[in-house]
Structure 1
Amino acid sequence: MNKFYKTVIISDVHLGTKDSKTKELVSFLKSIKCENIILNGDIIDAWQLKKNGKWKKKHTVFFKYIMKVLEKENINVIYIRGNHDDFLDEIMPFSFGNFSIVKDYIYESFGKRYYVCHGDVFDSITKNLKWLAKLGDIGYSLLLWINRYYNVYRKKRNLPYYSLSQTIKLKVKKAVSFISDYEDQLCKVASMKNCEGIICGHIHQPANKIINNTHYLNSGDWVESLTALVENYDGKWDVIYYDVWSIGADKISNVEEFDLEELINYNFSEQVLI
């Protein structure tokens, strides 16, 4: 049975990379119903695609699924650009029907205003020192490589997915300090925008907490954490962890594989694709 939410927010899918957990993401999205989907940046990883990244069939499946729900379920989809998909700067703001591409967004919920942005423009390294950010991206890719093969080892032993890279990051004092500074900075930005909350991504660190009277929400990622933010119909926000959500459910089944093939062959000839 599908779970119903008012809004679902995902970010940092990094389509075009080996570590993008697209199959799990589509499986999650198929299990829920909602009115709004916010794609909060770094959905496509243009940085990696320019280097040695590879666009796979499963990456196309994700966008075909989004287009399918746009057409059949009349869901509002808002795509916010991130630093890895900053090529969207060339076309935004863009709007067609229920689909839009924007730099940022004000989301109103039960009388509260939330400033929604990817968050990279408030990261001093990403904003001012792009060469250093890309150098750090190389080190991060190595960390993900370790994570990938560690989980191959776990899968062979029928163990659930575990983010070794997240564990390593949280044991590095500078990384923990960076995350804390980032959260504080984003909460200040929310106050400047006359908002009671901030919804962001970028640092691959899911969160739902109050910082200095500001509601800080981070949707995490679909590379390491495999998380999404969901707003319930009573206004309550939750972080959904895929590994917890999928406990007790079958692994992506043959029936689901058939559905994915159906998506691949779905006729979008009458749709406007970007």
Structure 2
Amino acid sequence: MAPKKSKYQTIWLSDIHLGCKDCKAQYLLDLLNKVEAKTIYLVGDIIDIWALERRFSWPKLHNQVVDTLIDKAKQGTRVIYIPGNHDEKVRKYIGMTFADIEIHQDYVHTTLQDKKLLVIHGDVFDGKVCLGKWQSRLGDVLYDFLLFLNRVCYATRKRFGWGYWSLAGYIKSRVKGANEAIKRYQDAAIEYAKARGTDGIVCGHIHQPDMIYRDDILYCNDGDWLENCTMLAENLDGSIELIYWTETVQSLTQFSDFAPVTPANQAA
């Protein structure tokens, strides 16, 4: 018998970066083969056109990810693609549907608990996060170096049969400037959601998975598949959960009715 699949109302995936050598396609493909959802949101930077223009690289696993998403769309899963900055060329097709995949600028998702979540990639907030062009360029260079270190760490751990661990994420969490930029991004996203009149926002872009409730807005960042390997999911009861998926699967944070799920909440 085929293994039973995990079922969700909705899942959000972003910053997959297919075509980039740091993409963890093997973990994402494992996820796609083991979960079912009524709706899948692809929240930008799905295909890394920037990386492909610098150096073409398209492993078999990357093709399998695309084929699996198309198959799910053809079999009845609603798949909504919201382009990001690395796949911004797809934005000229907004409003169209290809291979049963809808392309939108952004989207307002209504949860089973009747909460409205604005789904957007998040590069629109760059102007409020970056302090200037040279800081932005320096950040790009440093991040590329972090991914290089992460790649070496991953290869070493794999050689010894150890599971995946994000060295890049560990280093970023200890850099004050990076944490300040993340806070500015969160603030900008929350203000944007308020202006749009939604209860929350789902975004990606900064490769920092998180869920926080601030100023009556639920901020959700579904992370990425270069370093963190996370997805955001709406469970069948309408609760929202951030899930880590590599050799192990772990729930990182869960909100029910926009309140954190704690043992006390669950006991009630």
User: Does residue 59 of structure 2 align to residue 56 of structure 1?
Assistant: yes
SS in 2 for 1:174: helix
Q: Go from structure 1 to structure 2 and tell me whether the alpha carbon gap of 1:100 and 1:131 turns closer, same or farther (over 3 Å shift).
A: farther
Matching residue of 1:191: 194
CA shift, 1:19, in A, is 0.5
Q: Deviations over 1:119-158 (max 9, x none)?
A: 0111117899778646633332221111111111112222
Matching residue of 2:95: 93
User: Does residue 107 of structure 2 align to residue 105 of structure 1?
Assistant: yes
Q: Is the 8 A contact 2:70 2:100 kept in 1?
A: no
Q: Go from structure 1 to structure 2 and tell me whether the alpha carbon gap of 1:126 and 1:56 turns closer, same or farther (over 3 Å shift).
A: farther
CA shift, 1:228, in A, is 0.2
Matching residue of 1:156: 159
SS in 2 for 1:123: helix
- Counterparts of 1:245 and 1:212 in 2: how far apart (Å)? 33
Match of residue 172, structure 2, among 169, 183, 194: 169
SS in 2 for 1:137: helix
Matching residue of 2:43: 40
Q: Is the 8 A contact 1:38 1:79 kept in 2?
A: yes
Q: Go from structure 1 to structure 2 and tell me whether the alpha carbon gap of 1:244 and 1:27 turns closer, same or farther (over 3 Å shift).
A: closer
CA shift, 1:48, in A, is 1.1
Match of residue 82, structure 1, among 74, 81, 84: 84
SS in 2 for 1:48: helix
- Amino acid in the other structure paired with 1:230: A
- Counterparts of 1:56 and 1:131 in 2: how far apart (Å)? 33
Q: Which sections of structure 1, spanning at least 5 residues, go unmatched? A: 248-274
- Amino acid in the other structure paired with 2:7: F
TM-score using structure 2 length:
0.86
CA shift, 1:39, in A, is 0.3
Matching residue of 2:213: 210
Q: Is the 8 A contact 2:70 2:101 kept in 1?
A: no
Q: Is the 8 A contact 2:129 2:184 kept in 1?
A: no
SS in 1 for 2:243: strand
User: Does residue 141 of structure 2 align to residue 143 of structure 1?
Assistant: no
SS in 1 for 2:150: helix
Q: Which sections of structure 2, spanning at least 5 residues, go unmatched? A: 251-268
Q: Go from structure 1 to structure 2 and tell me whether the alpha carbon gap of 1:15 and 1:213 turns closer, same or farther (over 3 Å shift).
A: same
Q: Is the 8 A contact 1:197 1:214 kept in 2?
A: yes
Q: Is the 8 A contact 1:120 1:127 kept in 2?
A: no
Q: What is the RMSD computed on CA atoms of the aligned residues? A: 2.1
Which portions of structure 1, spanning 4 or more consecutive aligned residues, are displaced by more than 6 angstroms? Answer: 125-132
Q: Go from structure 1 to structure 2 and tell me whether the alpha carbon gap of 1:20 and 1:111 turns closer, same or farther (over 3 Å shift).
A: same
Q: Go from structure 1 to structure 2 and tell me whether the alpha carbon gap of 1:128 and 1:81 turns closer, same or farther (over 3 Å shift).
A: farther
Matching residue of 2:122: 119
Q: Deviations over 1:133-188 (max 9, x none)?
A: 46633332221111111111112222211100011111110100000111111011
Q: Deviations over 1:168-217 (max 9, x none)?
A: 11111010000011111101100100001010001111112201221111
TM-score using structure 1 length:
0.84
- Counterparts of 1:70 and 1:130 in 2: how far apart (Å)? 39
Matching residue of 1:250: none
CA shift, 1:245, in A, is 3.9
User: Does residue 188 of structure 2 align to residue 180 of structure 1?
Assistant: no
SS in 1 for 2:97: strand
- Amino acid in the other structure paired with 2:32: L
